[in-house]
Structure 1
């Protein structure tokens, strides 16, 4: 009698959560377009991370790796200079003025946060109500805990902790990583 191979468990299809339109960011010196923002239910996104801010690209890539969520984002200058056209080597080089970097980082963070929220709530069949991640790094111990409420609270996120977020000793440590000022992430 021929033995049939064991059935594979059903795979959850990758669900892209991409913004439907781009966002225009206008600063005192330039104008930028934020596009292709996505959080995908897969371990790694096939799409690029290219903000034009080297260390910020690296931090977003770490979200890709550690959270096992596919993340993508592209920032383009209105004059046509796309940061995605440049090599995504995660070199700690910044292509924009300091003021523009702060503005871009805020807008990218808000857009990715919105996409991540959609991904978290895409299914009510979640197996766990609390998710915890801890990552010891050379310079920090990062811990994140997400708690999803019961259905009687309409599936809203009821608790979020990320201690100690942005607490740095005064006048200690680096003022820059590559050419990115650390004050933008405090």
Structure 2
């Protein structure tokens, strides 16, 4: 089983995360930010990666540390669960529609973290979550997991739909990228013989 458990404790947040790359999309998420919970649940369900995430953050200050640290811990767990990445598909790309919205997500589990973000929101909050933190969440996941990640909003105007289309697209792209390809016979998907660096 490709699983990982991460405990990340700082003066700002206390986080416990478990992931199973070969799961069925079972989740138990509690970050203290309702809309963030909803998006991580969407990620789990549509990637088929089981995720348990418990976060106790300094929300009396603001949502930044909880958002950033939960993404870092999730990225670390994903990277740990993939190990040397032998046999994975490595790449994923998805067009993700939701009603009037269409997003495109493409990624490479390259070991070289990078985020291209071409999306935005016309309101400051979704539920109680600050929308400016959404890009930062993806940046933090990409950095910690070693993912080259491109996210683009092609069109759409409903902010909830925009965010959900992006998270579902990320989930489905990750599902393709982390799934084991039997034709690779356990080989690392790189002519270098390793990913990263």
TM range (shorter): 0.5 to 0.7
Equivalent pairs counted in the alignment come to 134
Equivalent residue, structure 2, for 1:87: none
Q: How big is the shift at 1:130? A: 2.2
Secondary structure at 2:120 match in 1: coil
Render the CA deviation track for 1:119-149: whole Å, top value 9, x for unaligned.
Answer: 33454123x342223321246433322335x
Secondary structure at 2:107 match in 1: strand
Alignment of 1:137 with 2:98, yes or no, is: yes
TM-score by length of structure 1 reads 0.59
Equivalent residue, structure 2, for 1:24: 10
The structure with the largest alpha-carbon Rg is 1
Q: Provide the C-alpha distance between the structure 1 equivalents of 2:100 and 2:71, rounded to a whole number of angstroms.
A: 22
RMSD over aligned CA atoms reads 2.8
Q: How big is the shift at 1:108? A: 0.5
Equivalent residue, structure 1, for 2:30: 50
Change (3 A) 1:111 1:140: farther
1:21-170 alignment, distance < 5 Å: 21-26=7-12, 32-35=13-16, 37-41=17-21, 42-45=23-26, 48-76=28-56, 96-97=59-60, 99-126=61-88, 128-138=89-99, 140-148=101-109, 156-157=110-111, 163-164=117-118, 167-168=119-120
Instruction: Give the gaps of 5 or more residues in structure 2.
Output: 136-197
TM-score by length of structure 2 reads 0.56
Alignment check: 8 A CA contact 1:132 1:146 kept: yes
Q: Provide the C-alpha distance between the structure 1 equivalents of 2:11 and 2:105, rounded to a whole number of angstroms.
A: 29
Q: Provide the C-alpha distance between the structure 2 equivalents of 1:161 and 1:103, rounded to a whole number of angstroms.
A: 19
- Work out which structure has the larger RCO, using CA pairs closer than 8 Å and 6 or more positions apart in sequence: 2
Q: Provide the C-alpha distance between the structure 2 equivalents of 1:123 and 1:136, rounded to a whole number of angstroms.
A: 29
Q: Provide the C-alpha distance between the structure 2 equivalents of 1:63 and 1:136, rounded to a whole number of angstroms.
A: 15
Alignment check: 8 A CA contact 2:8 2:73 kept: no
More helix by share: 2
Q: How big is the shift at 1:34? A: 1.2
Equivalent residue, structure 2, for 1:91: none
